[in-house]
């Protein structure tokens, strides 16, 4: 039986007691470790990685999360090294944060990583930074899962201020700035009855005024360590009155008035979704977008069950008992079979300017051989899946531009022809040129989220692609 430890992180959040009570109910951990008011977060991460766990998985839970559904059964069936939970955030809509399901071997690998010195990424996101550094040599990847979890609802004003001052510091890249700006554009600045957004806006402005964009990692770390004092001073100046304590009765009353799951529907009501786009057409961006809309889709799975089933012509995939769909070239050769196996499904064809796509494929396939000496069974399955799908989709194991160009044209034409009498079941979308939720959300009959479309590297300009192609050619 799977053993699960819970590491509960709290800094006197308004929801802390209710969060822990719900976690006990829905995770049913074998052991609970509480990190109580350990600041700054870099120190909290250091302390939690010293815990001597005897378990299979560790769930790291922040006290600003309210878990509203059973998670134990999912974790007991899980074999992923790391799963990030999608939650319903008060300020940003559907995002992944706050609940981290981590396999014990990865936890121990994180504990062995030496925290990088003078590293801005570590100062801003210490847990994420150590996890990424640990996962890279282990060749592990992050997975995502949607759960019914409320995040950052009902918090004290002081915590909202601290969080959004920190959010501004974390949003100083082009992509993160766009995400924060998009979320803020939906906040109602004129609603005097809801002070949460006013506090968040004030915090963002405060951080922009007090921490220069050129600040060093040490300066940023110092500001973060002093955030409680900054928050108290700023809120006093605003004349804000703090909220009263939060109870389970308050949560139950809110849930009676707010059907927060309606916009995403239940897993049983949703159709399967298959992304039919070829590699390098924005399939990873599509996968993350579907996660934000409530569909747990797997992007290019490389597990042994999926390989064995596809290689033997079996399309009732084990993976699709636990996921809401698939994306990338795992679907491209088999979409007609999936259509018959899963009636009522929706299909999304990602496309891209072909010249840009060819350049991107050349860069991506460089130094990614179809054959190689596997160091372990997982890598062997990865090679086998790569061989199967390259042969099935492209008809070659290496990048051949003439062949790829022909495959692209044929694939797009065949998909469109197959669905010509069922236009309601197919969406053609060019996420690389900026199309996103305005097309995808109505197609799936859900609201457009507050967050911008997650372009996971798909918006590289053609000039950048050409520069990379030139570097590859030179080698």
Q: Which residue has the tokens 């849930």?
A: 255
pLDDT attached to residue 464: 36
Yes or no: say if 230 and 165 are a contact pair by the CB < 8 Å rule.
Answer: yes
Question: Other C-beta atoms within 10 Å of 263: how many?
Answer: 15
What single-letter DSSP state applies at residue 448? P
Show the beta-strand stretches assigned E in 351-455: 426-429
Handedness of CA 335, 340, 342, 344 (dihedral sign): positive
Return the CATH number of 273-474, one of 3.40.50.1980, 2.60.120.580, 3.40.50.300, 3.40.50.1000. 3.40.50.300
| Helix 354-365 with 401-418: angle, nearest 10 deg | 120
CB environment 319-351: b (16+ within 10 A), e (fewer): ebeebbbbbbbbbbebbeebbeebeebbbbbbb
Q: Where in the chain is the domain with CATH 3.40.50.300?
A: 273-474
Residue 122, classed as helix, strand or coil, is: helix
The enclosing H or E element of 168 equals: helix 157-169
CA angle 367, 372, 376 (to 5 degrees): 115
pLDDT attached to residue 57: 98
Whole-number Cα distances in Å, 146 to 22, 69, 143, 318: 17, 11, 11, 19
Query: Residue 374: what are its φ and ψ, rounded to 5°?
Result: -80, 135
Q: Where in the chain is the domain with CATH 3.90.550.10?
A: 4-151
pLDDT attached to residue 259: 63
Q: At the topology level of CATH, where does 4-151 sit?
A: Spore Coat Polysaccharide Biosynthesis Protein SpsA; Chain A (3.90.550)
Query: Residue 82: what are its φ and ψ, rounded to 5°?
Result: -155, 130
Yes or no: say if 262 and 252 are a contact pair by the CB < 8 Å rule.
Answer: no
The answer, yes or no, to whether the previous bond of 40 is cis (omega within 30 of 0) is: yes
pLDDT attached to residue 456: 67
Tokens of 290: 């579907």
pLDDT attached to residue 471: 41
CB within 8 A of 320, min separation 6: which ones? 272, 326, 342
For every residue of 246-299, DSSP letters joined together read: --HHHHHHHHHH--TTTTT--TTTSPPEEE-PPTTSSHHHHHHHHHHHT--EEE
For every residue of 70-116, DSSP letters joined together read: --HHHHHH---SEEEEEEEETTTEEEEEEEEEEEHHHHHHHHHSPPP
pLDDT attached to residue 260: 58
- The residue ranges of the chain whose pLDDT is under 70 are 188-193, 259-269, 456-475
């Amino acid at each position: 039986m799977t053993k699960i430890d819970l590491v509960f992180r709290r800094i006197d959040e308004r929801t802390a007691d209710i969060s822990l009570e719900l976690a006990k109910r829905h995770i049913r951990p074998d052991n609970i470790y509480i990190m109580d008011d350990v600041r700054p977060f870099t120190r909290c991460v250091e302390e939690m990685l010293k815990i001597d766990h005897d378990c299979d998985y560790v769930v790291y839970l922040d006290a600003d999360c309210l878990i509203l559904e059973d998670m134990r059964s999912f974790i007991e069936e899980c074999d992923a090294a790391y799963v990030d939970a999608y939650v319903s955030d008060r300020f940003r809509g559907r995002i992944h944060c706050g609940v981290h399901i981590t396999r014990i071997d990865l936890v121990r690998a994180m504990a062995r990583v030496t925290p990088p010195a003078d590293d801005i990424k570590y100062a801003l996101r210490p847990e994420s930074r150590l996890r990424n550094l640990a996962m890279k040599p282990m060749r592990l990847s992050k997975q995502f899962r949607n759960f019914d979890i409320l995040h950052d609802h009902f918090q004290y004003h002081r915590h909202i201020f601290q969080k959004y001052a920190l959010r501004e510091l974390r949003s100083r890249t082009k992509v993160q700035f766009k995400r924060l700006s998009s979320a803020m554009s939906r906040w109602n600045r004129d609603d005097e009855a809801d002070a949460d957004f006013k506090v968040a806006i004030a915090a963002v402005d405060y951080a922009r005024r007090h921490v220069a964009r050129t600040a060093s990692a040490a300066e940023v770390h110092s500001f973060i360590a002093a955030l409680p004092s900054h928050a108290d001073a700023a809120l006093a100046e605003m004349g804000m009155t703090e909220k009263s304590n939060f109870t389970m009765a308050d949560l139950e009353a809110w849930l009676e008035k707010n059907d927060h799951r309606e916009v995403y529907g239940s897993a049983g009501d949703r159709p399967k979704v298959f992304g039919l786009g070829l590699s390098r057409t924005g399939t990873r961006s599509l996968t993350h977008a579907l996660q934000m809309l409530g569909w747990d889709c797997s992007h290019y799975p490389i597990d042994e069950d999926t390989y064995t089933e596809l290689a033997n012509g079996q399309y009732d995939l084990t993976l699709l008992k636990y996921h809401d769909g698939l994306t990338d070239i795992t679907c491209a050769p088999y979409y007609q079979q999936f259509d018959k196996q899963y009636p009522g499904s929706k299909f999304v064809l990602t496309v891209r300017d072909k010249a840009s796509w060819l350049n991107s494929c050349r860069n991506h396939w460089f130094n990614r051989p179809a054959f190689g000496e596997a160091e372990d069974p997982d890598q062997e399955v990865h090679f086998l899946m790569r061989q199967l799908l390259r042969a099935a989709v492209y008809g070659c194991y290496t990048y051949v531009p003439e062949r790829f160009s022909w495959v692209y044209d044929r694939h797009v034409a065949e998909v469109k022809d197959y669905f010509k009498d069922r236009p309601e079941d197919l969406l053609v979308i060019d996420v690389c040129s900026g199309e996103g939720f305005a097309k995808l959300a109505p197609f799936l009959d859900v609201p457009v989220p507050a967050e911008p479309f997650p372009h996971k590297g798909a918006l590289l300009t053609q000039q950048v692609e050409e520069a990379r192609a030139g570097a590859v050619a030179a080698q």
